[in-house]
Chains A and B, each alone.
Chain A
Amino acid sequence: MKPLLGTFYLLGMLVPGWLGYDRSLTQQRQEVVDKVVNPWRILETYSYNRYHPMEEIYQWMNEIREKYTEVVTQHFLGMTYESRPMYYLKISQPSNNPKKIIWMDCGIHAREWIAPAFCQWFVKEILQNYKDNSRIRRLLKNLDFYVLPVLNIDGYIYTWTTDRLWRKSRSPHNNGTCFGTDLNRNFDASWCSIGASHNCESLTFCGMGPMSEPETKAVSSFIESKKENIACFLTMHSYGQLILVPYGYTKNKSNNHEELIQVGQKAANALKAKHGTNYRVGSSADILYATSGSSRDWARDIGIPFSYTFELRDNGTYGFVLPETQIQATCEETMEAVLSVLDDVYEKYWYTNSAGKAKSTALVLSLLMSFMSLL
């Protein structure tokens, strides 16, 4: 009898008006059921074609972690100046295979909204496709992705509440008369030598010393601790449509400059093939302007071989205030570029290894066979 009543009750929920329930009450009950049965509220209707405020991004991270629990974990990096937690998502296919780390951070400059939008898009693409897409599956066999969707959280929030074109962090200086350090001038890479300012009022203020900011410290100490295993460091910015290799603080080139350019150019070609957008590739000092204390230069100098800055759309028409209508196309083309870089990184570490393994296995087998033939 009870199960039958239960079925009637359930049916009553599904058919509004049946059993005398009015519509609004049914809806309320449905919402309660939703909350219990369906905890991923924001994820169900999350639009990757819109810009999201920080509270929504925090919630999105939680739900991503809960939904894709077999491959995603969320980790604490440190606190911002205004005491907000910095989290990165780790996407890793559990296995006994040796792994290399791919690091990607977005939003080191607060006003470059398209960058955090891309980080979220990237995570979504990997998680929605890693089971059926052979290219992504292959990458996840030996690569772990570490994604920091918003690095400069305080600044990002400030662009939503107060000043859309704010760039720096929100740490106070000069007795609270001046705010913010340019986090991408604060890393310990020829700190404040060129293309940066000691004046707090400047938008390229390098801070009171290298790694003086809590955000920079949080990222750098983590990267430092994992640097042996990090194959690729990607930092996403806008605008300018550029793929930049080291260095900004000197016109000298890194010892793997040719390779970085080759990989970068291939990525730019893959990007252009998607929607026709032109990106230029080169060292920061050559094609942009001199800068010191950048995270990309620092990453290369501590030994991470592939280190790139991406400057996303556009070329100045809308600049930082890129219309939401362009998010999808920008993310799709950038995805192609990033996957191209990852393919090259993968090939570099595992193609040669597996070829080597095949050779040595063949050698052992042939030795065994010749030994056995002697018996």
Chain B
Amino acid sequence: MALRRQPLSAPRPGDTRPAAQRLAVPLLLLLGLQGAAAAGGPEDSGWLQDAEPSSRLLSQAARAALHFFNFRAASPSALQMLASVLDGRAWVNQKKEYKFDLVFTTEFYSAEEGEKRLGKCSAQVFFRNEKPRPSVNVTCTQLVKKERRQKEDYQLYKLMKQLKSPLNAVSIPDSHGYIAPSLRPIWDLAFLGSSYVMWQKTTPFLHYYMSQISSVKQWKTNDDAIDFDYTVLLHEFSTQEIIPCRIRLVWHPSKPLKVTYHCQERQTPEEASGAEDGSAVAPTGLSNF
């Protein structure tokens, strides 16, 4: 009986797993781990497939992939949210690193009632122990045509340029979940910047949502780009913590997105440092990591 040690490869068609095999897998995993320890061979890094990955784990990996996708697309008018995971495979190695092979559906972020459109993505996600984490390889069906997306981005850009700075807006949305229509572009752009941060911070055990923009600082629009400085409150689901992150992004519809951030972490045993910083420039085109 072959041990279930398989390197990450191209997606294979879904296979049925008979009950007997399901029962045998934990035993096999145990044997596999022992075997790997004994052999110590580097050729396949000791990846063991998780026979029944939890839906939570798969959803987390899918979200990480989607955060990266949104960041790379750099299009605040075409942000996508996770709908459901259709298929997912997970592997873990001795270093407790995880790899995922996923197919999931997405929804248009700012969908009005009645404009519900489902997209579909396939992704490979690799949670390494070193930063930056995780690395993502993702392709999605095009929910919105490129021309329409560019047009709407440009409209958003013009709206932002017209808004007076500094803004006096405090919380977006307000306590009752309301976002004034004139402030909607700010929310979209903030979500785009937060996507970068949430992608960076997601691990197999921690995942994030954007709760509220707690302050919008000034922005300048020199050299045509929008230079946007704001504080966002991220909600981490498993610890339930609210993490304030100061994010600065520089955006122009036809140029790569630039993001820098600084998050205030609570001092917990799991976190080594009290703050997390990062910065990046979105890659142009569909480059693979």
Q: Mark A residues whose CB is within 8 Å of B.
A: 50-51, 159-160, 164-165, 167, 182, 199, 201-204, 278, 280, 282, 286-289, 315-326
Pick the residue among A204, A287, A319, A325 that contacts B211 (CB under 8 A): A319
Q: Is the CB of A316 within 8 A of B173?
A: no
Q: Is the CB of A324 within 8 A of B178?
A: yes
Q: Tell me the minimal C-beta distance from A163 to chain B in angstroms.
A: 9
Q: Is the CB of A323 within 8 A of B177?
A: yes
B182 contacts the other chain (CB 8 A)? no
Residues of A within 8 Å of B237, CB to CB, are: 289
Per-residue CB contact flags for chain B residues 80-100 toward chain A (1 = under 8 Å, else 0) read 011010000000000000000
Bound-state CA distance A280–B176 (Å) is: 26
Per-residue CB contact flags for chain B residues 266-285 toward chain A (1 = under 8 Å, else 0) read 10100000000000000000
Q: Is the CB of A323 within 8 A of B233?
A: no
Q: Is the CB of A286 within 8 A of B209?
A: no
Pick the residue among B56, B175, B209 that contacts A319 (CB under 8 A): B209
Q: Is the CB of A323 within 8 A of B175?
A: no
Interface of A is mostly: loop
Q: Given contacts A289-B237, A323-B177, could you give 16 more A-B pairs where the C-beta distance is less than 8 Å?
A: A50-B176, A164-B175, A165-B235, A202-B239, A202-B241, A204-B239, A278-B84, A280-B55, A286-B54, A287-B55, A288-B56, A315-B81, A317-B81, A319-B211, A321-B177, A323-B179
B171 contacts the other chain (CB 8 A)? yes
Residues of B within 8 Å of A326, CB to CB, are: 177
Bound-state CA distance A317–B233 (Å) is: 13
Q: Tell me the minimal C-beta distance from B133 to chain A in angstroms.
A: 20
Q: Is the CB of B242 within 8 A of A165?
A: yes
B203 contacts the other chain (CB 8 A)? no
Bound-state CA distance A204–B242 (Å) is: 12
**Beyond A201-B266, A316-B81, A326-B177, is A321–B239 a contact (Cβ under 8 Å)?**
no
Bound-state CA distance A204–B212 (Å) is: 21
Q: Is the CB of B212 within 8 A of A324?
A: no
**Beyond A315-B81, A316-B81, is A323–B56 a contact (Cβ under 8 Å)?**
no
Residues of B within 8 Å of A318, CB to CB, are: 173, 177
Q: Is the CB of B240 within 8 A of A203?
A: yes
B109 contacts the other chain (CB 8 A)? yes
**Beyond A51-B176, A324-B177, is A164–B239 a contact (Cβ under 8 Å)?**
no
Can you list 9 A-B pairs, Cβ within 8 angstroms, ordered by A? A201-B266, A287-B56, A289-B56, A318-B177, A321-B173, A322-B177, A323-B177, A323-B179, A324-B177
Task: Tell me which residues from 136 to 195 in chain B have a Cβ below 8 Å from any Cβ of chain A.
Answer: 171, 173, 175-179
**Beyond A164-B171, A203-B240, A289-B238, is A320–B211 a contact (Cβ under 8 Å)?**
yes
Q: Tell me the minimal C-beta distance from A296 to chain B in angstroms.
A: 16
Interface of B is mostly: loop
Bound-state CA distance A182–B178 (Å) is: 27
Q: Is the CB of B178 within 8 A of A323?
A: yes
Bound-state CA distance A159–B233 (Å) is: 15
Pick the residue among A165, A204, A288, A324 that contacts B233 (CB under 8 A): A165
Residues of B within 8 Å of A50, CB to CB, are: 176
Q: Is the CB of B240 within 8 A of A167?
A: yes
Bound-state CA distance A51–B175 (Å) is: 9
Bound-state CA distance A182–B239 (Å) is: 12
Q: Which interface class (under 10, 10 to 19, 20 to 34, 35 or more) fits B? A: 20 to 34
Bound-state CA distance A315–B237 (Å) is: 11
Task: Tell me which residues from 54 to 90 in chain B have a Cβ below 8 Å from any Cβ of chain A.
Answer: 54-56, 81-82, 84
Q: Tell me the minimal C-beta distance from A181 to chain B in angstroms.
A: 13
Q: Tell me the minimal C-beta distance from B181 to chain A in angstroms.
A: 13
Bound-state CA distance A281–B238 (Å) is: 18
Q: Tell me the minimal C-beta distance from B105 to chain A in angstroms.
A: 11
Residues of A within 8 Å of B109, CB to CB, are: 317
Residues of A within 8 Å of B177, CB to CB, are: 318, 321-326
Name A322's closest neighbour in chain B (CB-CB): B177
Bound-state CA distance A339–B69 (Å) is: 40
Q: Tell me the minimal C-beta distance from A320 to chain B in angstroms.
A: 6
Bound-state CA distance A144–B241 (Å) is: 37
Per-residue CB contact flags for chain B residues 187-227 toward chain A (1 = under 8 Å, else 0) read 00000000000000000000001111000000000000000
Bound-state CA distance A318–B174 (Å) is: 11
Q: Is the CB of A321 within 8 A of B211?
A: yes
Q: Tell me the minimal C-beta distance from A369 to chain B in angstroms.
A: 54
Q: Tell me the minimal C-beta distance from A203 to chain B in angstroms.
A: 4
Bound-state CA distance A160–B238 (Å) is: 25
Name A276's closest neighbour in chain B (CB-CB): B116
Bound-state CA distance A289–B55 (Å) is: 11
Of listed A288, A319, A326, residue having the most chain B CB within 10 A: A319
Q: Is the CB of A164 within 8 A of B212?
A: yes
Residues of B within 8 Å of A317, CB to CB, are: 81, 109
Bound-state CA distance A325–B112 (Å) is: 12
Bound-state CA distance A326–B84 (Å) is: 21
Name B56's closest neighbour in chain A (CB-CB): A287
Bound-state CA distance A165–B240 (Å) is: 10
Name A318's closest neighbour in chain B (CB-CB): B177
Residues of A within 8 Å of B233, CB to CB, are: 165
Q: Tell me the minimal C-beta distance from A294 to chain B in angstroms.
A: 13
Residues of B within 8 Å of A165, CB to CB, are: 211-212, 233, 235, 242
Name A164's closest neighbour in chain B (CB-CB): B175
Residues of A within 8 Å of B56, CB to CB, are: 287-289
Q: Is the CB of B235 within 8 A of A319?
A: yes
Name A289's closest neighbour in chain B (CB-CB): B238
Bound-state CA distance A265–B24 (Å) is: 29
Bound-state CA distance A271–B109 (Å) is: 22
Residues of A within 8 Å of B235, CB to CB, are: 165, 319-320
Bound-state CA distance A98–B109 (Å) is: 50
Q: Is the CB of B266 within 8 A of A160?
A: no
Q: Tell me the minimal C-beta distance from A108 to chain B in angstroms.
A: 13
Residues of A within 8 Å of B84, CB to CB, are: 278
Task: Tell me which residues from 21 to 39 in chain B have a Cβ below 8 Å from any Cβ of chain A.
Answer: none
Pick the residue among A203, A287, A321 that contacts B241 (CB under 8 A): A203
